[in-house]
Amino acid sequence: MSDGLTINSAGFDAALLRLLASSKRSAVAVMKQQAKLLFVEVAKVTPPNHDSTTGKAAERNAKQKISSDQRSIYGTPSLAFDHLKAKSEPAANAFWRLYQEGDTQSASAIVRSNLGKSFTAFDGGKVGRNFLAKRRRSKREVIYYVTEPQALDTHIKDLQQHIWWLASGWAPALRALGAKAPYGVGKVPAPGLLKVEATDQRIVITMSNDVRFARQVKDIQRRIDFALKKRTGTLQRTWDNYLATMARESGLKKTG
């Protein structure tokens, strides 16, 4: 898909070619092994993984952020009570009594007159999507208070179920290569693909993540470049060690 991500093994061809020159294994076998190692590294840096925070810790942080973001937009009845109490305890008590009695219209009037905000049914996350997507908020401030806190809780849990959606887009390719996916990758059935092209002239292994919003994720290309750089560095060190070994065995001094 056009919005997805594609990682092509040609990005570190030079290092791979040097490795192939020193290996007794077939070119396809070497390429698949190196692709497996590279693509696992890519999966490890795909959100919710971030820098040194990966796996269960990343999952825990992502869930906490989702909850915090949503609750900074939608206030619960108890939060409305606390905010009202800071202004007027009688108003807060009247609000809570009306809310408990099911008179949300009168309770909403108290919230509106004292806090200048609405107290109404949860909108299913529409306001939250608009504010978070457009990054318009300069400060964390409740937009409105919801009359059904259980609906907000359910919405947050639903969002948290999709934490691994982007990272799981790499799972189909990792499975095809026989690689062990990092924690969380593959938790949900996200779309992805592995393609291997082998001819007399070249071998290209491509892993694609076809999650629709993949390219829109902030910092994703930097993360991928980091994984490529890490694997390329490992290949370079392998080549350097090979040259050093050859030099010792032949009695020659390594140069360059």
81-107 pLDDT, tens digit each = 999 999 999 999 999 999 999 999 999
Of residues 235 and 120, the one with the higher pLDDT is 120
What confidence score (pLDDT) does residue 139 get? 61
Domain residue extents for the chain: 5-48+164-243, 59-160
Mean pLDDT of the chain: 86
169-205 pLDDT, tens digit each = 999 999 999 999 999 999 999 999 888 777 766 777 7
Of residues 193 and 255, the one with the higher pLDDT is 193
What is the rounded average pLDDT of the residues 10-27? 76
Q: What is the DSSP string of 8-43?
A: EGGGGHHHHHHHHHH-SS-HHHHHHHHHHHHHHHHH
The torsion of the CA quartet 97, 99, 104, 88, rounded to 10 degrees, works out to: 60
CA distance 185 to 35: 17
pLDDT band at 235 (very low <50, low <70, confident <90, very high): confident
CA distance 31 to 19: 10
Residue type, 136: R
What is the rounded average pLDDT of the residues 2-9? 58
215: pLDDT strictly greater than 90: no
What confidence score (pLDDT) does residue 92 get? 98
What confidence score (pLDDT) does residue 2 get? 40
pLDDT band at 233 (very low <50, low <70, confident <90, very high): confident
